[in-house]
């Protein structure tokens, strides 16, 4: 594989599993030194070991990005480990689904605390370093920010806020020489998706393969995505080849987003 990101340092949040882990692996394969961060140290260490076994450079820092001091700590750790920050991928954060009337204030606050405020704080803490090196911020939002649903009121709202934040920071990035974009994944084969699929299969009394086919059919999409699909797009956008992209909202969802 061509080392398009040789000499770069990337911070990927929520990189202990799923999309974040796939992004960390792909950026490392492209030559970037990667910092993996999430709350589960065991999973982080396993992901980092896999990257190192394939010839990549990786370091881990388990932190809870919901806490106000975590972002500054992560930036300090990254500079100590690799001496630079070129790429920030704000991927961390899962929000609670459910009937709106059953979702509490705490559910809403928790939804915004990690995915939105975690991204805001890390972007702010890393910005001086990104500005100095002409770096890149990639936010991972979701299809719900543009196609909200009744059981995804928290997630849709958080994702929409992240889209707005991306557009605003892209303008700041034009001034400061920092690239800022956002990807909206649709249904991707993560642990969370597997749990949802298993639940639907059980409720409908059908095999997993049939339940997945129904999801594809009902949402009128091409297929369920893989974490590696998102990772490949991230690697392109933050490379020199993707540099013209700025403030772009890229829907990588198999056609789930039906609006203009």
CA pair distance 53, 131, nearest whole angstrom = 32
pLDDT recorded at residue 1:
62
* pLDDT band at residue 259 using 50, 70 and 90 as cut-offs: very high
* pLDDT band at residue 4 using 50, 70 and 90 as cut-offs: very high
Mean pLDDT (whole number) for 71-80? 98
Mean pLDDT (whole number) for 177-185? 98
- For the chain, give the longest Cα–Cα distance: 56
Contact between 131 and 73 (Cβ < 8 Å) = no
Cα-based distances in Å from 160 to 55, 100, 166: 38, 17, 10
- Cβ neighbour number for residue 101 with a 10 Å cutoff: 5
238-242: long-range contacts (C-beta < 8 A, 24 or more apart)? 238/5, 238/8, 238/10, 238/27, 238/87, 238/136, 238/138, 238/179, 239/4, 239/5, 239/30, 240/4, 241/4
CA pair distance 67, 149, nearest whole angstrom = 29
* pLDDT band at residue 2 using 50, 70 and 90 as cut-offs: confident
Q: Summarize pLDDT for 37-70 with one digit per residue, the tens.
A: 999 999 999 999 999 999 999 999 999 999 999 9
- Taking the mean position of all CA atoms in its chain, how far away is CA 72? 19
Q: What is the DSSP letter of 38?
A: E
Cα-based distances in Å from 186 to 31, 189, 202, 254: 27, 10, 22, 7
Mean pLDDT (whole number) for 133-151? 96
Cα-based distances in Å from 10 to 161, 186, 200, 225: 24, 24, 37, 23
Q: Is the pTM of this model over 0.85?
A: yes
SS3 content of the chain, % helix, strand, coil (to 5): 50, 15, 35
pLDDT recorded at residue 29:
98
Cα-based distances in Å from 228 to 18, 28, 235: 9, 13, 10
Could you give all domains of the chain from N- to C-terminal order, each with its CATH number? 9-188+225-252 (3.40.50.720)
Q: Summarize pLDDT for 107-137 with one digit per residue, the tens.
A: 999 999 999 999 999 999 999 999 999 999 9
């Amino acid at each position: 594989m061509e080392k398009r990101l040789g000499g770069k340092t990337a911070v990927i949040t929520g990189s202990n599993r799923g999309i974040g882990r796939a992004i960390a692996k792909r950026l490392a394969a492209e030559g970037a030194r990667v910092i993996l961060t999430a709350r589960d140290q065991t999973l982080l260490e396993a992901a980092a070991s896999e990257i190192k076994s394939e010839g990549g450079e990786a370091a881990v820092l388990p932190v809870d990005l919901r806490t106000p001091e975590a972002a500054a700590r992560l930036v300090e750790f990254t500079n100590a480990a690799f001496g630079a920050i070129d790429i920030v991928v704000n991927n961390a954060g899962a929000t609670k689904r459910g009937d709106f009337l059953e979702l509490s204030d705490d559910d809403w606050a928790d939804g915004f605390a990690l995915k939105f405020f975690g991204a805001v704080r890390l972007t702010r803490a890393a910005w001086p370093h990104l500005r100095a090196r002409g770096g890149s911020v990639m936010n991972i939002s979701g299809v719900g920010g543009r196609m909200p649903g009744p059981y995804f009121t928290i997630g849709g709202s958080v994702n929409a806020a992240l889209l707005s934040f991306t557009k605003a920071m892209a303008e700041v990035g034009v001034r400061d020489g920092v690239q800022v974009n956002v990807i909206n994944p649709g249904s991707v084969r993560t642990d969370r998706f597997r749990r949802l699929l298993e639940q639907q299969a059980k409720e409908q009394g059908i095999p997993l393969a049939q339940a997945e086919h129904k999801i594809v059919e009902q949402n009128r999409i091409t297929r369920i995505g893989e974490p590696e699909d998102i990772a490949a797009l991230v690697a392109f956008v933050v490379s020199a080849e993707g540099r013209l992209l700025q403030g772009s909202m890229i829907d990588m969802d198999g056609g789930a987003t039906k609006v203009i």
